[in-house]
Amino acid sequence: MTRFAVPRGMRDLWPEDWAKMDWMGRRILDVLIGYGFKPVEPSKIELLETLEAKSGPSIKEEIYWFEDKAGRPLGLRFDLTVGLARMVAGRPDLPLPAKFCAISDMWRYDEPQFARYRHFWQWDAEIFGSELAEADAEVISAGIDVLRAVGIVNFEVRISDRKLAEGFLRGMGIGDPARLGEAIRILDKRGKLSRGEFLGELRSLGLDDRQIEGILDFVSIKAPLEEGLSRARGLGLERGMAEEGLKELEGLADALRGFGIGQEAVLDLSVVRGLDYYDGIVFEAYDRGGEDIGAIFGGGRYDGLCGIYGRNVPGTGLAGGMERMMLSLERSALFPKLRSGPLVFVASANEAVRKEAIRMAQRLRAKGIPAEFDLKGRSLRGQMEYAAGSGMPYALIIGPRELEKGVVKLRDLGARSEEELSAEDCLKKLSDLARSFAR
């Protein structure tokens, strides 16, 4: 390992990585803007008290925090929802509902593992100011359309409700807030634990066999929404908080039908979402066959979050990991042909034609064709080796003979073929080739 490696849990993005991120980001934003979400960028650094306001002082164990030169405690954001809620709460003049989206990076001090980094990128969409089930359905529909826009079609959205889960656990005798919170965290980890580990975690809460059996029955319910709701009613949950959660899920099921969403959505009562600010509908989407990657997007309702920052505004939203989406697309070979650098290298045969090569590179750039020329004073052979080694598909060669004839040579570096063209014909051909790469 080099002495100057990146910190644990971090990684560099090379041009080929960034080309994929850029391609995904364009398609994601096209969908979200089409749904009426407006792009924003919350501050990457927050006051530590802003991050602690909902999650408590223990959040410091899970994030990057520090003191600035004036001794103020600050923290790097761990998601986009908190910053957006703070922004909305601070704007009493904002017309509601307000719909915002973002694609940006954040930090969490998690244990690094497959598909999970300490510095990562997310896409996010939030609706503030609507309590209607149609708002929850809208963010789920937007998430589904994002997956389809990037080519992921074999997926499912697993839906549940935090009120239903908390009401059920309270009904099982787990009413103490600390034990209830720990039980929710154990349910959230269920997919990462073996059955034995899951049972061990439940027993560590002091639960008896009856309580554990009841929880196993609860989290085993996974079925299409209508069927799943029928099974959930069979658990005798029609009272208190659990009944409220069931009614919210029934309202969501009806709203999703209006969006044309059917078999993609399933009821999965093991879904609770780990972040404490969720207080209603919750959901996670998985690429079928690629569950080891984890949820490719997730979200839910958080009606109490904005109130913590001074203004009671209901909210619902979703976020997806860019790295996880990239893994899913790579596994299924769903990325189109992408360009991660210049399309063409403009080579000069000798020093006498160097300025002409620079002028040609500028003409190409003016036409929107990414181009590069020699900045090292290399021989023509050295220029060709550099262009090929850098992954550029084409080279445009200018020499004294070509200038006399009024032509240029266009070489396909992959096919190792070349042709002579007029400068105008060459520009037209390269313009067409540039359009053949996905953007």
Which 3-state string (H, E, C) describes the chain?
CCCCCCCCCCCCCCHHHHHHHHHHHHHHHHHHHHCCCEECCCCCEEEHHHHHHHHCHHHHHCCCEEECCCCCEEEECCCCHHHHHHHHHCCCCCCCCEEEEEEEEEECCCCCECCECCEEEEEEEEEECCCCHHHHHHHHHHHHHHHHHHCCCCEEEEEEEHHHHHHHHHHCCCCCHHHHHHHHHHHHCHHHCCHHHHHHHHHCCCCCHHHHHHHHHHHCCEEEHHHHHHHHHCCCCCCHHHHHHHHHHHHHHHHHHHCCCCCCEEEECCCCCCCCCCCCEEEEEEECCCHHHCCCEEEEECCCHHHHCCCCCCEEEEEEEHHHHHHHHHHCCCCCCECCCCCEEEEECCHHHHHHHHHHHHHHHHCCCCEEECCCCCCHHHHHHHHHHCCCCEEEEECHHHHHHCEEEEEECCCCEEEEEEHHHHHHHHHHHHHCCEC
Q: For residue 142, tell me if it sits in a domain.
A: yes
Q: For residue 188, tell me if it sits in a domain.
A: yes
213 and 360 assigned to the same domain: no
* pLDDT value of residue 1: 55
Cis peptide before 97 (omega within 30 of 0): yes
Q: For residue 205, tell me if it sits in a domain.
A: yes
363 and 291 assigned to the same domain: no
272 and 362 assigned to the same domain: no
Q: For residue 382, tell me if it sits in a domain.
A: yes
Q: For residue 144, tell me if it sits in a domain.
A: yes
Q: Among 299, 331, 363, give the residue marking a domain's end.
A: 331
351 and 302 assigned to the same domain: no
Q: For residue 25, tell me if it sits in a domain.
A: yes
Q: Among 331, 366, 395, give the residue marking a domain's end.
A: 331
* pLDDT value of residue 207: 85
> Pairing between strand 394-398 and 344-348?
parallel
Distance CA 131, CA 126 (A): 13
152 and 254 assigned to the same domain: yes
Domain of 259?
Answer: 15-42+77-331
* pLDDT value of residue 96: 96
Q: Retrieve residue 340's tokens.
A: 């991660």
**CATH number of the domain bearing residue 102:** 3.30.930.10
242 and 151 assigned to the same domain: yes
316 and 355 assigned to the same domain: no
* pLDDT value of residue 179: 84
* pLDDT value of residue 237: 74
- pLDDT, tens digit only, all 439 positions of the chain: 578 899 999 999 999 999 999 999 999 999 999 999 999 999 999 999 999 987 788 899 999 999 999 999 999 999 999 999 999 999 999 999 999 999 999 999 988 888 789 999 999 999 999 999 999 999 999 999 999 999 999 999 999 999 998 888 888 888 788 888 888 888 888 877 888 888 888 898 888 888 888 888 888 899 999 899 999 888 877 678 889 999 999 999 999 999 999 899 999 998 988 777 889 999 999 999 788 899 999 999 999 999 999 999 999 999 999 999 999 999 999 999 898 889 999 999 999 999 999 999 999 999 999 999 999 999 999 999 999 999 999 999 999 999 999 999 999 999 999 999 999 999 999 999 998 887 7
Q: For residue 8, tell me if it sits in a domain.
A: no
**CATH number of the domain bearing residue 385:** 3.40.50.800
143 and 247 assigned to the same domain: yes
Structural domain total, the chain? 2
pTM metric for this prediction = 0.91
Q: For residue 399, tell me if it sits in a domain.
A: yes
350 and 326 assigned to the same domain: no
Q: Among 331, 362, 377, give the residue marking a domain's end.
A: 331
379 and 313 assigned to the same domain: no
* pLDDT value of residue 238: 66
* pLDDT value of residue 432: 92
285 and 201 assigned to the same domain: yes
301 and 378 assigned to the same domain: no
